[in-house]
């Protein structure tokens, strides 16, 4: 098990907007989009199969170990000096075909992959929509 070089510390992370990074290289890949915070949809589906049994009026649900979780994101990229590079960075992420890590200003934080990436041109810039589907990710524990 790896060890850390410094003492662990507890702090509250204050984020603005959406942060996305490659978990293998957070510092080198993190991108932040501050607009569109009020237009996200977080869906958790615990699965389950309902079956009707003789002698019971209502179904019995049976659950497995699997869950599905998605976060639908809308990002607004306004015209400006970083417009092209911001869009390009998103395009790279959409084509990354690998696990990414997402965090937002509402405390959501998980690993997932991007699907349904869509860019709509607007008078003020571009409206980007994507779905972030959670994937299994084994977090490596670091000893204090």
Partner 1 sequence: MQSLTVPTGDRNPNGYAAADVLEALQAPHGSRRFSFRYELLDSTNATVEPEIFGVLSGEVSNNHLADIKRTARFNILETGTIDYLSDRIRPHARLHLYPYTVDDFVEWPLGVFLLSTPVRHIDRFGRITRDVAAYDQLQVFTDEVTTDRYTVAAGANVVAAVTTLLGGIPASIEPSTATLVTAKEWDPGTTKLKIINELLGMINYESLSFDEDGLAIVQAYRSPTERAVEYTYATDQSGLMVPEADQELDLFAVPNQWTLVVTEPDQPVLTSTYTNNDPGSPTSTVRRARTISDFRIEVEAVDQATLDAKVARLAFEASQVYEALEFSTAVMPIHSGNDVIHIQFDPLAINHKYAEQTWTLPLRAGATMTHRARRVVTV
- How many beta carbons lie within 10 A of that of residue 1, not counting itself? 6
Contacts of residue 58, defined as CB under 8 A and 6 or more positions apart, other chains included, come to 52
DSSP for residue 139: P
- Quote the least distance from Cβ 57 to partner 1, whole Å: 9
- Quote the least distance from Cβ 138 to partner 1, whole Å: 11
Q: Does 56 bind partner 1 (CB under 8 A)?
A: yes
Q: Which of 21, 34, 14, 42 is nearest to 128 (CA)?
A: 34
Q: Which of 61, 92, 116, 135 binds partner 1 (CB under 8 A)?
A: 61
- Quote the least distance from Cβ 137 to partner 1, whole Å: 14
- Quote the least distance from Cβ 50 to partner 1, whole Å: 8
From residue 65 to residue 94, the character string flagging contacts with partner 1 as x (rule: CB under 8 A) and all else as - is x-----------------------------
CA–CA distance from 104 to each of 16, 32, 40, 98 (Å)? 7, 9, 10, 19
- Judge whether 122 and 77 are in contact, CB under 8 Å: no
- Judge whether 61 and 48 are in contact, CB under 8 Å: yes
Q: Does 63 bind partner 1 (CB under 8 A)?
A: yes
Q: Does 64 bind partner 1 (CB under 8 A)?
A: yes
For partner 1 (CB under 8 A), the number of binding residues is: 18
Q: Which residues bind partner 1 (CB under 8 A)?
A: 47-56, 58-65
């Amino acid at each position: 098990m790896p060890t850390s070089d410094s003492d662990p510390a507890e702090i509250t992370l204050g984020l603005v907007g959406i942060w996305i990074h490659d978990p293998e290289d957070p510092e080198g890949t993190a991108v932040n989009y501050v607009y569109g915070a009020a237009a996200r949809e977080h869906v958790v589906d615990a699965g389950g199969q309902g079956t009707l049994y003789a002698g019971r009026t209502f179904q019995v649900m049976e659950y497995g170990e699997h869950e599905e979780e998605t976060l639908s994101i809308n990002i607004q990229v306004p015209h400006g000096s970083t417009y092209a590079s911001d869009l390009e960075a998103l395009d790279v992420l959409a084509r990354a075909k690998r696990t990414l890590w997402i965090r937002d200003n509402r405390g959501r934080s998980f690993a997932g992959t991007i699907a349904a990436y869509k860019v709509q041109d607007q008078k003020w810039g571009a409206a980007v929509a994507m779905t972030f589907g959670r994937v299994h990710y084994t977090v490596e524990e670091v000893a204090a």
